Structure 1
């Protein structure tokens, strides 16, 4: 089958302004809870877009690790490509897609590093092998082969054998400070619902967008 011929009819739900909160964070949390209840695979996976030094877009999947009234957070290697791009241009845009629920959330905003204490707290909660991996992988740097990477993992594992694994200085969290949030719900006939929130002078403004 030609991918151009692929079609899906969206029929699960809709968005009516009279049922929506004035604060989009309430709806964000509600949709995450519903994705968890629906047992959507990787419900916190999101596409993170940054800007290269040449001004080109660059996108990859990361994991959303929390939201509050002001921001969304994720963790990574500060020396990775995305880390270097965020250092140069501290803004980002993200998309979360839940095919099972025919829903999408997009948001964007300025980016700041989390405090060392916040990053350390989350790092301690990670599985031990993930903490080893944070030391072993020079993320986004070329490696000769898989063996080189695995050997580095073993070296770090042996180095910390019987010891607590501290957070590397090059690893930690970011927060994306919400400036815009958009909720998309699939509807029949491609007349999808798009509700767009924008923060202005500390207040969220809401409007419907054409699909």
Structure 2
């Protein structure tokens, strides 16, 4: 896995300008600043929401001292001062109390993304966000990939890069590594496929 280089392109705008644009956006639009580009986060469909709720219930059952925060803004300070809104950020209960719209990712145990059915999901979810979460020091990245019907678990963070990736088909028992330490029974995900 490679980490993006700051020399690949210039940022579209400054982080401060992006935050101002994001604040002024209507509630129906969600912006992110990924790899120096303004991204519009696609609206979720019903299956996407059901997958999030399935994982939320799993996390609450196994680790009640943690919360899976939906769409929590994270300041993933990489080369471009990126700002991301993962589908879920797993952290201790009350972790984000008193923080602003774009919180420090320190203390987040896992970032979650569920792929969308749009043409940019490959670059956004499988590459850029993975690299951004690793650079921000988030120990585990869970990608629920609806195209391949797999869970990709990224871990073993070293030098801002995930050195381990394991793939698990829907239906498998998936052990999320430390510090998450949750075992997922994923048979239910088969109910949320096209």
Considering the TM-score relative to the shorter chain, is it more than 0.5?
Answer: no
Alignment TM-score, normalising by the size of structure 1: 0.24
Higher relative contact order (CA closer than 8 Å, sequence separation 6+): 1
* Higher CA-based Rg: 1
Scaled by the length of structure 2, the TM-score of the pair is 0.25
Identify the structure with the greater helix proportion. 1
